[in-house]
Structure 1
Amino acid sequence: MIARVFAALIGLAAAFVAHAVEPLPFKDAAEEQRFQHLARELRCLVCQNQNLADSDAGLAKDLRNEVFEQLRAGKSDDEIKSYLVARYSEFVLYDPPLKASTLVLWFGPFVLLAVGGIAVWLTVRRRAAQNPAPTRAAGEEEDW
């Protein structure tokens, strides 16, 4: 009985894994590598921080098919990315380019870290000034 349930669960899990990503008919290994590289550079628009290669969302599948069709049409990687950016904004790029509009994305975490570090440093200095360390009298010995 337990063996049957276990076998059914394994079969069900295998069906989900097999259904996750449909294989595409690539001409050769170079085309597949190029597709995989592009899919890792493009973000799934509905998932939390996943690229197209890792996502099994419906929109990710549609975008993978769009990238594949454009590859087959002979477009370059930059042309494919430009097309997707025109439709979905730079959010579709996993690593957006460094421009005025993306400065916050690139440098915001470092600015927040610096501001937090300065705030901690000022707080420690202020508390140290309010509570000076006790001083010993001239004749006292240390208890080590």
Structure 2
Amino acid sequence: MNFAIVLLSGPQDPAARSALNFARATLDAGHQISRLFFYRDAVHLATALAVQPQDEADIYADWRAFISENQLDAVVCIAAALRRGVLDDAEASRWQRPVANTGAPWELSGLGQWVDSLQTADRTVTFGT
């Protein structure tokens, strides 16, 4: 079965960990994930500048590693990202900002990517509000 997963909640919300656990279980069960889409506050997971306290699990690093290790398509909504200051090199240059704070394995793109996922996946699962 082919899944599309969208995460709406930010890193501090338990939904971020639940989505990651679900995604891991999906692949462990032999299914596929056609796309991960990060929307609303979930775009904060794509920042490379967040630092977790040493006594807490690093959800940012966990997502990044999971996506990279499994070579998944991880799309961050560009409109939501720009509003929240999550910029890749191209957007930092475009908007004349001094620094980018995201990059591979994340891809900034529009809602069209999510619509495409809805049309091609067998199942769609949403985490967060």
TM-score of the aligned structures, taking structure 1 as reference length: 0.23
Which of the two has higher C-alpha Rg?
1
More helix by share: 1
Relative contact order: is structure 1 or structure 2 higher (C-alpha 8 Å, sep ≥ 6)? 2
